Amino acid sequence: MTVKVRFAPSPTGQLHVGNIRPALMNWLFAARSGGIFMLRIDDTDIERSTAAFEQGIFDDMKWLGLSHGETAKQSERFDRYAAVADDLKNRGLLYPCYETADELDRQRKIQRSQNKPPVYNRAALSLSDADRAKLEAEGRQAHWRFKLSGEPVQWNDVIRGEQNIDTASLSDPILIRGDGSYLYTLPSVVDDADFSITHIIRGEDHVTNSAAQIEIFHAIGATAPAMGHHPLLVGADGDKLSKRLGTLSIAGLRDEEGIEPMAILSLLAKIGTSDPVEIRRDLAQLVAEFSFEKIGRAPARFDPAELKVLNAKYLHETPYGDVAERLAALGVGGGEALWNAIRGNVETLADATHWHHVVYGDITPVIADEDVDYLKEAAALLPEGDLDENTWSSWTGVLKEKTGRKGRGLFLPLRLALTGDKHGPDVGALLALMNRETVIKRLRA
């Protein structure tokens, strides 16, 4: 059997880390198994779906490196869904209901007050043709529910193990709204069957839904795919992350925060697993290490601060050739020498622009009153000729001998005058890239 999985986002908003975690699990599983990863656009919500959001999905997935072997769009398959729905209606497995939202809410409240589960009472099944005609004459539009068997549904979840859901404890799910539009369930099941999806990997909030969907698979004559349900993301404090996912869009992390793809993928692949959360250089490493058995049962804690740490570590290890074009686009010169000098002090690639300016631009030196004479002497003792990688050690050696200064008293005034900052890359490496006249000007400022 060839493994085939799918990622099925709706183009009603931007992709965020909550979307990408299951997408990544599916992608890694397919790659590890030599299978197929399908990108399916679930755009049945015509009013909210936009071409811009759809393009954003493709752009984000490409940027992350999560390539897909097949694509599909649900908006191109409405005829297929209608044919399946008609068949289910003719067999009495999809039946019309006319209760309003308020009436259903009252029904649930009454059931709770009687210590009963808030399950739909199937009153619509007892309606006669005349009853339905009267309700429709009043302006009510039918929504359509799938009739569950009321029997237990069992499956061996590839993440959670044996699962047993009693469908008698569930409400018959609504598959078609009163306006005729489809909810997620029916198109998704039909697509999974038609496209021969072998595994459905998603969040554990779908466990109960899976029981109902397995029955729908059987009702349309299909074999249900294997199921896997992983714990959801929570914040670093353990609280639900769902309300904050809008600020953690992939586009925002890329364009506004300057986060690298492998930092995002490394964090999402490792949180909530038995593996340490460490930066990985490429997807091949994540593929080799992937296993459902490593996924724990506790919620996975997503910490933006941890993401920034991983991002910095990734850049600290990145060779110049991997970022040369992007540095040039940022206006950062200096070539490999500058990058090697500064990469250990950047958290995002955009930080390189600051150090480019320090080396080649105009800065305001920081000079304490008590260091003015020392820095003037340092300017006078700067070795003749072009500055290179040996200048710093020979220069500070002479200064130490001439002034008697050592430690912070020797080095810190030079750093502050030359860079304007008490922290940063090795001053000697930066000095070797600077213009001699610029150095003397800063020392005498």
pLDDT digits (tens, 9 = 90+) for 336-386: 999 999 999 999 999 999 999 999 999 999 999 999 999 999 999 999 999
Do 8 and 145 have their domain in common? no
Task: Read off the pTM.
Answer: 0.94
Do 279 and 334 have their domain in common? no
Range list of β-strands (E), 69-197: 70-73, 94-97, 143-146, 152-157, 161-166, 174-176
Please, which pLDDT band fits residue 396 given cuts at 50, 70 and 90? very high
CA angle 353, 355, 361 (to 5 degrees): 85
Helices 78-90 and 185-194 pack at an angle, to 10 degrees, of: 100
Eight-state DSSP code of residue 177: -
Domain-terminating residue out of 232, 252, 269: 232
Residue 142 φ then ψ, to 5°: -75, 135
Domain CATH number, residue 52: 3.40.50.620
Do 193 and 262 have their domain in common? no
Domain-terminating residue out of 176, 202, 223: 176
Do 121 and 147 have their domain in common? yes
Domain-terminating residue out of 306, 332, 360: 360
Do 149 and 282 have their domain in common? no
Do 94 and 59 have their domain in common? no
Q: What average pLDDT score do residues 382-405 get?
A: 96
Among candidates 233, 295, 298, which has minimal Cα distance to 29?
Answer: 295
The answer on pLDDT for 315 being more than 70 is yes
Please, which pLDDT band fits residue 334 given cuts at 50, 70 and 90? very high
Do 189 and 40 have their domain in common? yes
Please, which pLDDT band fits residue 48 given cuts at 50, 70 and 90? very high
Domain CATH number, residue 115: 3.90.800.10
Do 253 and 312 have their domain in common? yes
Measure Cα distances from 433 to 329, 351, 439, 442 in Å. 20, 18, 10, 15
Domain CATH number, residue 380: 1.10.10.350
Domain CATH number, residue 264: 1.10.1160.10
Do 348 and 278 have their domain in common? no
Do 170 and 135 have their domain in common? yes
**Average pLDDT score over the chain:** 96
Q: So what's the pLDDT on residue 240?
A: 79
The answer on pLDDT for 151 being more than 70 is yes
Query: Strand pairing partners for 234?
Result: 240, 301
Please, which pLDDT band fits residue 241 given cuts at 50, 70 and 90? confident
Q: What total of structural domains would you count in the chain?
A: 5
Do 168 and 26 have their domain in common? no
Do 99 and 168 have their domain in common? yes
Q: What average pLDDT score do residues 435-443 get?
A: 97
The answer on pLDDT for 275 being more than 80 is yes
Q: What average pLDDT score do residues 57-81 get?
A: 98
Measure Cα distances from 54 to 41, 75, 110 in Å. 8, 12, 43
The answer on pLDDT for 243 being more than 70 is no
| Domain range enclosing 326 | 320-360
Residue with tokens 């090795």: 426
